Amino acid sequence: MLKLFAKYTSVGIINTLIHWVVFAMCVYVLHTNQAMANFAGFVVAVSFSFYANAKFTFNSTTTTVRYMLYVGFMGTLSAAVGWAADMCGLPPLVTLVTFSAISLVCGFIYSKFIVFRDAK
């Protein structure tokens, strides 16, 4: 399981970079709130993450249902973290770091045991 988590983390690093760039553009260029910026960053990065993890991490096929499960869960998590950050008045960098940590752990567990549970 540690080897699988290492692969998931590798994909997650690229995914995180994508997410952070979009988040920063939304907050600092478009002046959106953090919930919207976090969700936008998620939307751009999630497809890469889903397909890369299906192929590279879990050696699994992609289906519409799996994609919807993954996007639905991770999107809800993204919006919740952004909303909580806005309610607490957290700085954007704290929001990004918090979401990155939470999504890495929760996303791996959810992917392994729900989305790609039958993968070899």
The pLDDT of residue 120 is: 53
| Average pLDDT of the residues in 51-77 | 95
**Is 58 a member of any domain?**
yes
The Cα-based distances of 86 to 32, 102, 105, 117 in angstroms read 11, 17, 22, 34
- For the stretch 26-40, pLDDT in tens is 999 999 998 788 778
53 inside domain: yes
Q: Is residue 46 a part of any domain in this protein?
A: yes
pLDDT tens across 102-111, in order?
999 999 999 9
Answer yes or no: is 24 within a domain.
yes
Q: Which domain holds residue 34?
A: 2-115
> 74-107 pLDDT, tens per residue?
989 988 998 999 999 999 889 888 988 999 999 9
What is the residue type of 58?
Answer: F
Rounded to two decimals, the pTM is: 0.79
- Report helix, strand and coil shares of the chain as percent, to nearest 5: 85, 0, 15
Q: Does the residue 120 lie in any domain?
A: no
Instruction: Output the CA–CA distances (angstroms, integers) from residue 119 to 10, 53, 105, in the order listed.
Output: 19, 11, 19
Q: How many domains does the chain have?
A: 1
